[in-house]
Amino acid sequence: MAKSKKNTPAPKAAQDKPTTLKDLLSSEVLEKLKAQADEAKAAEAERKEQERIKADEARKAEQKRRDNDFEYLLNNSSLDWKKHK
């Protein structure tokens, strides 16, 4: 019998994967893009916070206006005056 040689596959893992944009860009460009993405996330968070504050202020202003409106208070108050004695 002849000795059989086992075929050892060459490491093709690096060749099988397609090259990505991340592989092609330099580290400086990647750092700039990451910094820009972080700035965009921070700006979005700030915008959402400002919208939340604005909505909260509008809600408080509407509640204050309603508290001064006698008709609204009369229509939305409990008619059970016994509990206030």
Query: Tens digit of pLDDT for each residue in 67-81?
Result: 888 888 888 887 777
pLDDT value at residue 57: 97
Report the distance separating Cα 75 and Cα 84, nearest Å: 17
CB-CB contact of 45 with 52 (8 Å): no
pLDDT value at residue 10: 52
Query: Tens digit of pLDDT for each residue in 14-51?
Result: 567 787 877 777 888 888 989 999 999 999 999 999 99
Three-state DSSP state, 22: helix
pLDDT value at residue 55: 97
Q: Would the pTM count as exceeding 0.75?
A: no
